[in-house]
Amino acid sequence: MLRVIDYYSPTAEFYDLVGVQRWTQSDPLLATALTGTDTAHGPVLDLGAGTGRSTEVIARALPEARVLAVEPSPAMRAALTSRVVRDEELRRRVTVVASSAQEVELPERLSAVVICGVLGYLDRAERAALWGRLLPRLPSGAPVVVELMAVKVPQPVAPMRIARQRLGEQEYEAWLSGEPCGPDRMRWSATWRVLRDGEAVREIDVTHEWYTFGLEDLAAETGLTAKQLTPELGVLLR
């Protein structure tokens, strides 16, 4: 039986708070990777759309595109819907679907696919099944933009603070550490901390398991041409 673990609902409230710092660099690159997409072919699929950060970048980069935003986590989807409904353009062009990479019902044709921060939750067989469904729907030249974790081989990663953000009288911190939990898998432990006057007033720990692989592995799986844009972000061309 398929079990998509909802790693994200317990910490969805923190996602945009700490993400915004990273996204100022990666959003323009994601937008550039999509430039020139023929959006007449079908909607652009945003798989694992989260709170809608990637959805919004797609919609702004491709002003004619319809966007199919698929997100399984109820809390993340609440933020996604909230983002979409407040913007007339997004409201008109973005369809939000509660589903997963494994189960989503796809339209006959797609113009492009964006899979940011998601593919490592799928094992090799699930990825193969996904490629088998996605690739025939894309025209020649269409981009499949992927964002992975920079760690491509299981290895211990010492705790590091990955983000900090102030909101009103409180500060928010995200900490991450990792350890191998299989020949091609990492267990990542994240701690989200809320501080007031330097004292932690709330702390939430979550662990995620993530298959490790790189863009070149995806190129081999798909037969597509790969272009690495940053250590995390890359594009595969149909």
Ligand X SMILES: C[S@@+](CC[C@H](N)C(=O)[O-])C[C@H]1O[C@@H](n2cnc3c(N)ncnc32)[C@H](O)[C@@H]1O
Q: Which residues are at the interface with ligand X (CB under 6 A)?
A: 4, 8, 47-50, 53-54, 71-73, 76, 100-102, 116-118, 121
- Min. distance of Cβ 102 from ligand X in angstroms? 6
Structure token pair of residue 97: 């679907």
Cβ proximity to ligand X: between 126 and 217 the closer is 126
- Min. distance of Cβ 75 from ligand X in angstroms? 9
Contact 19, 114 (CB under 8 A): no
Cβ proximity to ligand X: between 61 and 101 the closer is 101
- Min. distance of Cβ 19 from ligand X in angstroms? 6
Contact 143, 65 (CB under 8 A): no
Cβ proximity to ligand X: between 193 and 210 the closer is 210
- Min. distance of Cβ 224 from ligand X in angstroms? 20
Which residue sits closest to ligand X, CB atoms considered? 50
Contact 65, 36 (CB under 8 A): no
Amino acid occupying residue 231: P
- Min. distance of Cβ 80 from ligand X in angstroms? 8
Cβ proximity to ligand X: between 45 and 226 the closer is 45
Residues contacting 92, CB < 8 A, separation 6+: none
Instruction: Give, in order, the Cα–Cα distances in Å from 114 to each of 81, 104, 117, 147, 231.
Output: 18, 14, 10, 8, 17
Cβ proximity to ligand X: between 75 and 135 the closer is 75
Pairing of strands 233-237, 143-147: antiparallel
Q: Positive or negative CA dihedral for 124, 126, 132, 138?
A: negative
